[in-house]
Structure 1
Amino acid sequence: MTSSRSLSATPKPLFLILSLLHLCLLTTSENSIHDLLQSRGLPAGLFPQSVKSYNLDEEGHLQVFLDQPCLAKFENRVHFDTVIKANLTYGGLTGLQGLYQEELFLWLQVKDIIVDDPNSGLILFDIGLAHKQLSLSLFEDPPLCNPHSKGVLEEKNGGRKSMGFQAQR
């Protein structure tokens, strides 16, 4: 008889532990990419509302997943690939892949996004050829991101050649 009591007593603590673990997992999975960015000293609106999910490993490697590539507008048009990768540190997204900004009719890869001093009200975009400072207020709210036309991909991925202009030999 005592063995049945010990068997029925064992599942209760195990059930409580599993319930707490499940609750912790739900809490972390409910945190949005926008909450994560804010907790790391970055504005919530760097990624669009349409983020499907994200992964962040222990070394700070971040992957953000969208259903499809899309365009948003801050000061200029910005193209988001389906997967955006970066190293997330406090106040920065470095080594970005999958994010492009339009400058003078060219699509340039955004390499880094850095907030050195939140009190300055500025955010720095490194687009390779230049560093561009923008107002943090542009990134307060996650933007709407619209699926883009095929033409944007063509511009971004090679300009004339991909639009049908072949080099003549």
Structure 2
Amino acid sequence: MAATSHHKIVTLFYLLLHFVSTELVTGSSIHDLLKSKGLPVGLFPKEVESFTLYDTGLLEVFLRGPCLTKFDTMAFYESTVRANLTYGGLTGVEGLSQEELFLWLPVKDIIVDDPKSGLILFDIGLAHKQLSLSLFEDPPDCKSQDALSLKMKNKSRKEIGFYAEM
């Protein structure tokens, strides 16, 4: 009888885990996951600490903290970025913004329709930007907002311009 109770508890625990489960990608990084989904590995910076991919396709990426990097323009990652992951796309992105003409616009979707085209599409709400996939071949370094602020403190305008260009 004790064995049957133990079996029921284990089965119940397994079912509970299944319903709240995440897709565990053992031994792989966010960059490996992106590659397996037809996306370039450089969409997320090296500073990713962990990620969770839920059965629903929701991807949560956790960084060490908010940070800035540059692709064609400046990009700002919040400490948590969420999106729905499908083959060739991240849709409903939250936590990623790009600077366009001195405005920070949220990135809504990132799509690779045809990898052979060499282009990736960024939907930033007001516009769709097509960028070269080559900009995303390697995960970028991402500078923390605090570190960047400290570096820019007491710098001349010319030196600040350097950091803005990254």
Q: 2:45 aligns with which of 44, 48, 52?
A: 48
2:156 maps to what in 1?
Answer: none
In 1, the alpha carbon distance for the partners of 2:116 and 2:56 equals 27
**2:64 is the counterpart of 1:79:** no
CA drift of 1:148 comes to 1.6
TM-score of the superposed pair, with normalisation by structure 1: 0.72
CA distance in 2, matches of 1:82, 1:28: 21
* Unaligned ranges ≥5, structure 2: 1-23, 150-166
Q: State the alpha-carbon separation in 2 of the partners of residues 34 and 139 from structure 1.
A: 11
Q: 2:88 aligns with which of 67, 87, 91?
A: 91
Specify whether residues 106 and 42 from structure 1 end up closer, same or farther in structure 2 by C-alpha distance, changes over 3 A only: same
Normalised to the residue count of structure 2, the TM-score between the two structures is: 0.73
Return the offset for 1:150. 9.6
The alignment status of 1:147 with 2:147, answered yes or no, reads no
Q: How far apart are residue 142 of structure 1 and its match?
A: 0.1
Superposed CA RMSD: 1.7
Displacement of 1:28 in angstroms is 3.0
Letter in 2 for 1:119: K
| Equivalence for 1:68 | 65
| CA deviation after TM superposition for structure 1 residue 29, in Å | 3.0
Give the Å deviation of 1:35: 0.3
Extract unaligned runs of 5+ from structure 1: 1-26, 153-169
Q: Distance in 2 between matches of 1:54 and 1:42?
A: 16
Matched, 1:104 2:101: yes
Paired residue type of 2:132: S
Shift of residue 67, structure 1, vs aligned partner: 1.2
Identity %: 64
Amino acid at match of 2:126: L
